Amino acid sequence: MTIDCILSLILMRKTFEIFTLNFFTKNFATFFCIGVTTALFDYLLYIFLLSHDWPMLLAKSLASAIAVVFNYLLNSKFNFGKVHTMSLKHLGYYGILYVFLILIHTLFNQGLFIVLNNVNIAVFGALCISTFVNYIGVKKFFNHFRN
């Protein structure tokens, strides 16, 4: 093994350590749990509205909008609450942030599908990528609106 290979391996290991320290923190774990809870809430509300004869587009739109509010409240209270005070203005900005995050997710999904030609891998890959992009976006949002 050459010295260049050894240095490359050390650099890759350090990069991986920095990446894991920055992402896999208590904040990320809480964000992930809140995201799963929000997705479940969104889905159950959507199914509930459909079972009460709401049109599909309206049911999904309302469920998603309420889920964004739910996500904002949970992240404000349990994840970033130490540095953030909830407000209607911030909720509006949070909604705008989530519109962009959904657009990014959709573009990743479409791009992966075009490259891989496999819908399941594209959806899963886009979900994984979007989780990290969403975390960075939400973390920056709450840091921007610090108390």
Domain ranges of the chain: 26-144
DSSP symbol at 55: -
Residue 112 confidence (pLDDT)? 86
d(CA 64, CA 68): 6
Q: What is the pLDDT of residues 87-123, one digit of tens each?
A: 888 888 988 998 988 888 888 888 988 998 888 888 8
Q: Are 138 and 29 in contact (CB under 8 A)?
A: no
Distance CA 7, CA 13 (A): 10
What pTM value is reported for the model? 0.70
In this predicted structure, the answer to whether residue 7 has a pLDDT above a threshold of 70 is no
Mean pLDDT, residues 82-89? 74
Q: How confident is the model at residue 14 (pLDDT cuts 50, 70, 90)?
A: low
Contacts 24+ apart (CB under 8 A), 109-115: none
